[in-house]
Amino acid sequence: MTAVREPAAPSAGVQALPGPTPRRVRPPRWLDLRLVLGVLLVLASVLLGARIVSAADATVPVWAVTDDLAAGTELTADDLVAVDVRLDDVAGAYLSTGTRPEGRILARAVREGELLPRTVLEKADELVQLALPVQSGYVPPGLQRGRLVDVYAVADPAAGATAVADGSVTPVVRRAPVQSISGRSEGVLSTPMTAVQVVVAVASEDAADVLAAIAGRPLVVVVHESVDTGEGAAAGGMTSDPSGPTD
Pick from 228, 46, 208: which is nearest to 146 by CA? 228
Distance CA 74, CA 79 (A): 9
3-state secondary structure at position 204: helix
- Amino acid (1-letter code) at residue 155: A
Q: Which domain holds residue 79?
A: 60-121
136 shares a domain with 68:
no
Contact 129, 181 (CB under 8 A): no
The count of structural domains within the chain is 2
Q: Do 171 and 107 share a structural domain?
A: no
Cα–Cα distance between 36 and 48 in angstroms, integer? 18
Query: Beta partners for 201?
Result: 129
Of 181, 173, 154, residue with least CA distance to 241:
173
**Is the CB of residue 111 less than 8 Å from the CB of residue 185?**
no
Is residue 196 a part of any domain in this protein? yes
Range of lowest pLDDT (33-37, 91-95, 156-160, 198-202): 156-160
Domain match, 94 and 142 both: no
pTM for the model stands at 0.61
Task: Please check whether residues 109 and 175 belong to one and the same domain.
Answer: no
In a domain, 15, yes or no: no
pLDDT at 136: 83
Residue 48: its H or E element: helix 33-56
Domain of residue 109, CATH code: 3.90.1210.10
Per-residue pLDDT tens over the stretch 102-150: 888 888 899 999 999 888 886 556 788 899 999 888 888 888 889 999 9
Question: Among the residues of 97-247, which ranges form H helices?
Answer: 161-165, 207-214
Write the pLDDT tens digit of every residue in 156-193: 655 555 555 555 788 999 999 999 998 866 555 555 56
Domain end marker among 73, 92, 121: 121
Residues 219/134, Cβ–Cβ less than 8 Å = yes
Which amino acid is located at 53 in the chain? V
Q: How many CB atoms lie within 10 A of CB 108?
A: 20
Show Cβ contacts of residue 60 under 8 Å, excluding neighbours closer than 6 positions: 84, 85, 86, 87, 91, 96
Give the type of residue at 74.
E
* pLDDT of amino acid 156: 64
